[in-house]
Structure 1
Amino acid sequence: MPGGLLLGDEAPNFEADTTIGRIPFQDFLGDSWSILFCHPRDFTLVCTRELSRAAKLAPEFAKGNVKMIALSIDSVQDHLSWSKDINAYNGEEATKKLPFPIIDDHKRDLAIKLGMLDPNQRDGQGMPLTARVVFIFGPDKKLKLSILYPATAGRNFDEILRVIDSLQLTAYKKVATPVDWKCGDSVMVVPTISEEEARKLFPKVIDLNILG
């Protein structure tokens, strides 16, 4: 049976070959926020557009101290060739270098271990395709968020940036973000603190009937 990660689980400490060499995953994460996102296959149109978008947004992720790393079930050599296509799609020089590494998982070992397979979509050999999973880890290397898209649905990177803003805010402040929240919008005080404490922490709070 496929494995998987649950919220609060520690990031797996595997070693893998990538487009920047062999890395121990936890060492790569360091004390940064990080996003691991996987793809069904190299060179496919949806995946190429996704990684092109991720490359374009790399400066936005860097602003939030977020490291990016991708995974696809092909070899490093395929990844490097694919990187040229990704850069060319963005109108950039067709080099093999992207602003994030891509993990080699040609044996699907990690896809199976981390529960990344889509049982409803299969390749020409009848093997399940890798789903479009997003894992976000905090500086403590614990899983803070996971999103599982089927192989047929491209992900929304604007939502990923939005939810990282929420995760980072709520990690350091005793607040929660409401529906459709965006950075700069009003937030809610968590119900685990008293009204007195809330008024001390948030002297400009308008309404304390806010969460729960």
Structure 2
Amino acid sequence: MPGLRLGSIAPNFTAETTHGVLNFHEYLGDSWGILFSHPDDFTPVCTTELGEVARKAPEFEKRGVKIIGLSANDIASHDRWIKDINEVGNTSVNFPIIGDKDRKVSTEYDMLDALDPTNVDAKGIPFTVRDVFVIDPKKVIRLKISYPASTGRHFDEILRVIDSLQIGDKYRVTTPVNWQKGDKVIVHPSVQGEEAEKLFPGYETVKPYLRFTKDPSANAA
């Protein structure tokens, strides 16, 4: 059975979370979403990561993105650990975290660690790696990144990719290397001739296949 890929529909599930029992697709509604896993509660890297996500919650909200975390711990463990996250990160975790103790969701999303022999529970069953799934309003997986248990994620990069995906969907552009919101973007190759002139007047042609234009979302802001 092939794994989940970019373009796959994100599997739906119902799970216990720190906000009660949630149906994933119903929780997302018409919003963008991030489903991200962490290996274990009460661990150093995970504590810094979830604190950072909590601090960046307003940035995700501005982009219409709902967040939901996951690990193979139970809800009681999450509830206790959130107090540490809030204290260490000087923040408040307000997004739900799934208690996937039976690994049902993490197996469906292929999140379990096959690399790090130390990233296991007391019975030797693997915990999850640091997966990130960005899901659009049609429930299509648009980004999938896996980080090893030893490496904390850079959530500014995830925000950057969301900006790129959203501007691309709305304006028929792509984004170049190291792009940041407000930088020049690239006219999509499918936009040619008079249509390109109409949509992106004054665009800059470097090569016939490489045409830059101003970030159209900057004018809409």
Task: Identify whether the pair has TM-score above 0.5, normalized to the shorter chain.
Answer: yes
* Secondary structure of the corresponding residue to residue 118 of structure 1: coil
Could you tell me the percent identity over the aligned residues?
A: 50
What amino acid does structure 2 have at the position aligned with 1:99?
N
User: 1:121, 1:129 within 8 Å by CA — same for their partners in 2?
Assistant: no
Q: Distance in 2 between matches of 1:185 and 1:157?
A: 19
Return the offset for 1:127: 2.3
Q: Distance in 2 between matches of 1:126 and 1:196?
A: 62
Question: Could you tell me which residue of structure 2 aligns to residue 200 of structure 1?
Answer: 198
Question: Could you tell me which residue of structure 2 aligns to residue 7 of structure 1?
Answer: 6
* Secondary structure of the corresponding residue to residue 130 of structure 1: coil
Further displaced range: 183-192 or 119-128 = 119-128
Return the offset for 1:110: 1.2
What amino acid does structure 2 have at the position aligned with 1:142?
V
Structure 2 unaligned regions, length at least 5:
212-221
The verdict on how the C-alpha distance between 1:134 and 1:191 changes in structure 2, with shifts beyond 3 A counting, is: same
What amino acid does structure 1 have at the position aligned with 2:93?
L
Question: Does residue 106 of structure 2 align to residue 111 of structure 1?
Answer: yes
Return the offset for 1:193: 2.0
Q: Distance in 1 between matches of 2:202 and 2:20?
A: 50
Question: Could you tell me which residue of structure 2 aligns to residue 60 of structure 1?
Answer: 59
User: 1:35, 1:137 within 8 Å by CA — same for their partners in 2?
Assistant: yes
Question: Could you tell me which residue of structure 2 aligns to residue 100 of structure 1?
Answer: 95
* Secondary structure of the corresponding residue to residue 121 of structure 1: coil
Q: Distance in 2 between matches of 1:129 and 1:4?
A: 18
Question: Does residue 146 of structure 2 align to residue 148 of structure 1?
Answer: yes
Return the offset for 1:200: 0.9
TM-score (norm 2): 0.89
User: 1:119, 1:129 within 8 Å by CA — same for their partners in 2?
Assistant: no
Q: Distance in 1 between matches of 2:17 and 2:105?
A: 13
* Secondary structure of the corresponding residue to residue 178 of structure 1: coil
Q: Distance in 2 between matches of 1:120 and 1:58?
A: 30
> What does 1:26-175 correspond to in 2, within 5 Å?
26-92=25-91, 98-122=93-117, 123=120, 124-175=122-173
What amino acid does structure 2 have at the position aligned with 1:166?
S
* Secondary structure of the corresponding residue to residue 198 of structure 1: helix
**What value does the CA root-mean-square deviation take over the aligned residues?**
1.7
Q: Distance in 1 between matches of 2:48 and 2:65?
A: 21
4+ residue runs of structure 1 moved beyond 6 angstroms?
A: none
What amino acid does structure 2 have at the position aligned with 1:85?
D
Q: Distance in 2 between matches of 1:69 and 1:129?
A: 17
Return the offset for 1:77: 0.9
Q: Distance in 1 between matches of 2:115 and 2:11?
A: 26
What amino acid does structure 2 have at the position aligned with 1:6?
R
Q: Distance in 2 between matches of 1:172 and 1:36?
A: 23
User: 1:71, 1:105 within 8 Å by CA — same for their partners in 2?
Assistant: yes
Q: How many residues align?
A: 207
Q: Distance in 2 between matches of 1:146 and 1:195?
A: 34
Q: Distance in 2 between matches of 1:186 and 1:4?
A: 35
TM-score (norm 1): 0.92
